[in-house]
Structure 1
Amino acid sequence: MHVLKGLLLCLWLTSLAATADWYPVQVQADGQLLQYQPLARAAQPWRICALLPHGKDRYWWGVAWGLDGEAARQGVRLGIYEAGGYENPQVQIAQLQACRAEDADAYVIASINTDDLCPQIAELHGQGKPVIDLVNRLDCPGVSARSQIDFADMVREILAYIEGSREAGPFSIGWLPGPQGAGWVMDGENGLRQALQGQPVTLYHGGYAPVDRASQAQLVRRLLNEHGEVDYLLGNAEAAGFAAQLVRTSGNQYRTQVLATYTTERILEQIRDGFILAAPTDSPVLQARIAIDLAVRVLEGKPHPALVRPLIVMLDQRGLEAFDISRLMPPEGHWMIRRDMPQ
């Protein structure tokens, strides 16, 4: 743990300037590479409601931190709600209803699934209320703009990494995507199918479950008990983190190499120690900051792209030292931010 804290401190010291002044940052905006520059400040203290699926890990702590920081910089008022897990879509529906009752000016939503919130979003659109789709993907008419990475691209990056490092010949992959019905999971599975077409690969699907450690550990154990010879295990951060620990402590029982579909603090530690081969990051803190700026731009009728994507970065042992960790998670000592809608 002390070594991890030393690593994180070192990474944070090399990225202090970026943390204080996160822009301009290279992104894809409506398919074009550009340097994203947010507004200097909102024209008035708009009230924005942000909905997140949960606050159980530093991925979503980073999202909340990014939302909070950019709201403070632009001078807008922000409520942040988390639903407690992907198994709680009704909680997120109720939280959106509560924000509507508080008459928020705009909504930033990282959805539990792609369509449960669509009826309310259609009503918000009819009222002229901006809705920004953050991270997870909404399949709803009426979304004003999106700040998110395509998880199909994330998975394609991982499989390109595997292809560049594996020996020639047939190989196998164990797949643990995450919660069924989440937009990012469906996108990741689409990317997996596309990337594996024509490949000499055997795919073992480990099943769906919420991204908590207990649920994912059960799936990992079952997958490796049934297919202990699998060459690569590719899974969400909780599945990959547990699988790396299990492989490390099992002697020579398993020969699988582990990769994660996205990066968290635990994944960074295990990449550094050589227990996880690699993982991409979708820069969730940047996605959150951009989402707040998009909300303000829509509220103020200013030009804005419909879709902004930070660039995907593949992280392995060689790439860790140069990576700006402020794109990924909050600094040490920052926890999940939860806040009711300010008046």
Structure 2
Amino acid sequence: MRHLLKSVTSSAALALVLTGSAVADDWFPYPVEVWDPPFDMASPRTSKDYVPLDKAAQPWDICVSFPHMKDAYWLGVDYGVVEEARRLGVRLNVVEAGGYTELSTQISQIEDCVSAGADAVIIGAISFDGLNNLVGEIRSKDIPVIDVINGMSSDKLSAKSLVSFGEMGAKAGAFLAERHPAGGDAVKVAWFPGPAGAGWVEAGNTGFQGTIDGSAIELVDTKYGDTGKEAQARLVEDTLEAYPDLDYIVGTAVTAEAAIPILRSRGLTDRVKVVSYYYTPGVDRGIARGQILAAPTDSTVVQGRIAVDQAVRILEGKDYDKHVGPALYVVTQESHAEFDPSSTLAPDGFRPVFSVE
């Protein structure tokens, strides 16, 4: 696939990802990148094949906190942490705060988890900076804290299982810039990065805008908003009213999914193209049906699996990668047939699971 990161060096592992054999308990080895020094997305990276533990030494209690489960992206993370907990033989308690406006709820849910005796905490953070005091309090009790998916700025974290959302945004931008290089006809793009203040959104915004700079892309508007479908649909509707000559809608997976029926109802499907900067089942269907041009995948399920494995390794005093994330690649309409969904999407029919005993 021409969009694979050059840093992915293991062709055997990559073939495993693309051919669909990395499924269920046999999801590994998986191509990842390791940042060193950790916790700095600008640090040098090395590529390796990630192999988790066979089993935990005892049934540890692990608490997992998500911002919400309003979209299929977080359902994929839930599937990843739940399946890895079952494979390793540990207990899991999953809580979700209800949305990116609910930072105080997320904090109180995590505090309740710790009070109930959690041995380790995995956090998909609502805010890049807003949980730092809580992380410090938990670490002062010698309880590991793993940062999954979204990113936090605390230097007291035990580990990170995440990718660069700056690079996710950059990959979406590079896809467009390649289609519309400098000197070509100008195209008008509206950009929907997600909820303002979330670490992954700010990173994605920086990455996207950086890679379209100097191309034939005119960024006519940037619309922040919660990743609920109703919120994103309103933003899309408002933008189409304001810019009737728009060429592209680019943004969150929820934005892309919401845009499809809106464009159809307005007769704009052939006029306005759609790109997502991360991957969900709706995006997968949209690409397969020719309704969405492309989206980078961050192997969401695998990020969840790795976070659970990191927690167990830390609890058992075993070697672990302190800052690791799956290698990124872009799925397009042309390459979709090669994509293995088990790395990124929960299976059809999967419903949220909040407890593993």
* Aligned-residue offset at 1:253: 8.7
Aligned to 2:344: 328
Extract unaligned runs of 5+ from structure 1: 1-13
| 1:171-190 alignment runs, 5 A limit | 171-190=187-206
Equivalent of 2:236 in 220, 223, 241: 220
The question of 1:267 aligning with 2:276 is answered no
* Aligned-residue offset at 1:153: 0.4
Structure 1 residues 116 and 305, CA, compared in 2 at 3 Å: closer, same or farther?
same
After superposition, what is the alpha-carbon deviation per residue over 1:189-216, rounded to whole angstroms, capped at 9, x for unaligned? 1112321333343212342211111111
Distance 1:337 1:205 in 2: 38
Q: Secondary structure at the match of 2:28?
A: coil
Q: Is the 8 A contact 1:93 1:116 kept in 2?
A: no
* Aligned-residue offset at 1:70: 0.7
Aligned to 1:250: 266
Aligned to 1:8: none
Distance 2:93 2:262 in 1: 39
Q: Is the 8 A contact 2:187 2:217 kept in 1?
A: yes
Specify the code of the residue in structure 2 equivalent to 1:26: P
Equivalent of 1:289 in 287, 305, 321: 305
Equivalent of 1:29 in 34, 37, 50: 34
Equivalent of 1:318 in 334, 337, 353: 334
* Aligned-residue offset at 1:249: 3.0
Q: Is the 8 A contact 1:158 1:280 kept in 2?
A: yes
Q: Is the 8 A contact 2:186 2:216 kept in 1?
A: yes
Q: Is the 8 A contact 1:248 1:275 kept in 2?
A: no
* Aligned-residue offset at 1:84: 1.3
After superposition, what is the alpha-carbon deviation per residue over 1:25-80, rounded to whole angstroms, capped at 9, x for unaligned? 11001211000011111122111100011112221111111101111111111111
Distance 2:68 2:267 in 1: 35
The question of 1:69 aligning with 2:77 is answered no
Q: Secondary structure at the match of 1:215?
A: helix
Distance 1:45 1:207 in 2: 45
Q: What TM-score, normalized by structure 1, do the two folds share?
A: 0.91
Aligned to 2:3: none
Specify the code of the residue in structure 1 equivalent to 2:28: Y
Distance 1:200 1:65 in 2: 40
* Aligned-residue offset at 1:254: 7.6
* Aligned-residue offset at 1:141: 2.4
Q: Is the 8 A contact 1:54 1:85 kept in 2?
A: yes
Q: What TM-score, normalized by structure 2, do the two folds share?
A: 0.87
* Aligned-residue offset at 1:252: 4.8
Equivalent of 1:78 in 92, 109, 112: 92
Distance 1:303 1:214 in 2: 44
Equivalent of 2:175 in 161, 164, 170: 161
Distance 2:27 2:312 in 1: 17
Q: Is the 8 A contact 1:229 1:254 kept in 2?
A: no
Aligned to 1:3: none
Aligned to 1:198: 214
Extract unaligned runs of 5+ from structure 2: 1-18, 36-44
After superposition, what is the alpha-carbon deviation per residue over 1:93-136, rounded to whole angstroms, capped at 9, x for unaligned? 11011011112111100011112221111012222211000000
Distance 1:222 1:276 in 2: 20
* Aligned-residue offset at 1:271: 1.1
Q: Is the 8 A contact 2:260 2:269 kept in 1?
A: no
Structure 1 residues 102 and 231, CA, compared in 2 at 3 Å: closer, same or farther?
same
Q: Is the 8 A contact 1:28 1:308 kept in 2?
A: yes
Q: Is the 8 A contact 1:177 1:236 kept in 2?
A: yes
Identity percentage of aligned residues:
37
Superposed CA RMSD in Å reads 1.8
Q: Secondary structure at the match of 2:338?
A: coil
The question of 1:309 aligning with 2:314 is answered no
Specify the code of the residue in structure 1 equivalent to 2:271: R
Distance 2:268 2:136 in 1: 55
